[in-house]
Structure 1
Amino acid sequence: MKKILLPLALTVAIASQHAYSQTKALFNGKDLSGWHIDVPEMDKNPKAINPFIVRNGLLVSLGEPGGHLITDAQHENFRFTFQYRFAGKPGNCGALVFVSKPRDLYDMFPKSIEIQLMNQNAGDFWCIQEDITVPDMEKRRGPKEKWGVNGDKLRRIPNLTDGTEKPLGEWNSMVIECVKNSIKVWLNGVLVNYGYNATASKGQIALQSEGSEVEFKEVKLTPIKALSK
């Protein structure tokens, strides 16, 4: 048995090491290379500031004006990881995956699925012109006839567990794993949401500016080799 387990363990270790070697930083700590901004206010107001800056080696979303920082590249089958904390008062922010058409909702939000970072609600899904299924759907999302992906429909799908966020001022660690059309979310090592049958399986990645100043670091992406059906 030991002779069988040893090669197996070695194979797993090699695979893990290979995955780690494929991890790349999406933020270099110096500038926003590889990203572009989409901030509607900047189109019409020449005095509007860019809400996404680099400060002391951190990627900072100032919260105002509202908008998104979007990767230039599209991604599919990946693990997106980062650490974040509210720099001042707690509030709202989000990380978006499967991003495609910009300003597709309320002339602000791109077509995507948002993983909420809002204080006390981190890990919720928000459907933005895309949809996803979760276990106990009606219990968590509300009456089925009110579900939807735009307007006043029930777009929010609450996370599985509360109490996983760190105290304000401390760094939270988030892992978002997208394989085909499924999404798993871990917050500080705890699985806080899981969805499947999403209406998208690839796209860009985005971070929000949505009312509160948030700092990010260790923003990384690891490709995942999805098994063929």
Structure 2
Amino acid sequence: MKIQLVAALSLLCAASAFAEPISLFNGKDLTGWSADVPEADGKPDTKPSFIVRDGLLVSLGKPGGHLISDKGYSDYKLVVEYRFPKDKGNCGVLVNASTPRFLYGMFPKSIEVQMESGNAGDFWCIGENIEVPDMEKRRPHQEGQTMGGGPSDARRILNLTDGSEKPLGEWNTMEIECKGDEIIVHVNGDLVNHGTKCTASSGKIALQAEGTEVEFRKVEMTSLKD
């Protein structure tokens, strides 16, 4: 009986340790991340698109590009706390990212979880694909247009809610669960999207510079592996 109890406690402790969240941003510098900014190619004097300021990870919005994690991940929950400090605008979190500059010479192959003001939680398919209920209704497309991730495909999948975002300048919490071929997104506690049959189940994580300054105070991951 003692042996069984010790074994059970050991398993419980191991499970608890395994589920500890890991911060992907250390609050000091961009260790663990690499910037991919096409406009900076061959121009070492180009101002950075991503900086650390007052303990925050900041996407300055311009020049356009991505801050990409050095490591790839699978089966996890990503929690991102962000805000637009000055102006409403555009940004996104890309998951299951792989080939850099796959689309338009800019966007890595991935599924984008949209952060654009008013549209947080939309999916954008970038070379990869994902399915949601009510696909015909929630994926704007022209007659005959393919629902895929290519340049001419219907790549946008609308979120489930309006009004989940906080007012400009306030902090939002976005939770993205990637488990196998499933992606579930919450914004400030609201379920805003849920897709299945994703064509990629692992990859890197990327944050965008897409025209507007965005501050991040948390980029934290918790493993969902059994």
Task: Using structure 2 for the length normalisation, give the TM-score.
Answer: 0.90
Contact 1:19 1:222 in 2 (8 A): no
The whole-number CA distance in structure 1 between the counterparts of 2:185 and 2:117 is: 16
Identity %: 56
Partner of 1:214: 214
Contact 2:96 2:111 in 1 (8 A): yes
Gaps of 5+ in 1: 1-10
Partner of 1:121: 119
Distance 1:48 1:56, change over 3 A: same
Partner of 2:171: 171
Partner of 2:43: 45
What is the Cα deviation at residue 21 of structure 1?
A: 4.8
The whole-number CA distance in structure 2 between the counterparts of 1:142 and 1:26 is: 34
What is the Cα deviation at residue 179 of structure 1?
A: 0.1
Deviations 1:136-168 (Å, cap 9, x if unpaired)?
A: 001110357312312232100010011000000
The whole-number CA distance in structure 1 between the counterparts of 2:93 and 2:64 is: 14
Amino acid at match of 2:44: P
| Number of equivalences | 215
Partner of 2:144: 145
Partner of 1:159: 159
Deviations 1:77-134 (Å, cap 9, x if unpaired)?
A: 0000010000211100000000000000000000000000000000000000000000
Amino acid at match of 1:159: N
Distance 1:163 1:20, change over 3 A: farther
Contact 1:96 1:115 in 2 (8 A): yes
Distance 1:185 1:20, change over 3 A: farther
Partner of 1:3: none
Partner of 1:81: 79
Amino acid at match of 2:211: G
The whole-number CA distance in structure 1 between the counterparts of 2:17 and 2:90 is: 32
The whole-number CA distance in structure 2 between the counterparts of 1:21 and 1:178 is: 15
Amino acid at match of 1:189: G
Distance 1:188 1:216, change over 3 A: same
The whole-number CA distance in structure 1 between the counterparts of 2:63 and 2:56 is: 19
Deviations 1:175-224 (Å, cap 9, x if unpaired)?
A: 00000011000000011000000000000000000000000012100010
Deviations 1:21-77 (Å, cap 9, x if unpaired)?
A: 521100000001111110011104333211100000000000000000011010000
Partner of 1:192: 192
Amino acid at match of 2:49: P
Partner of 1:224: 224
Task: Using structure 1 for the length normalisation, give the TM-score.
Answer: 0.89
The whole-number CA distance in structure 2 between the counterparts of 1:214 and 1:145 is: 37
Contact 1:126 1:157 in 2 (8 A): yes
Q: Does 1:25 align with 2:20?
A: no
Contact 1:19 1:224 in 2 (8 A): no
The whole-number CA distance in structure 2 between the counterparts of 1:87 and 1:145 is: 41
Gaps of 5+ in 2: 1-8
Larger helix proportion of the pair = 1
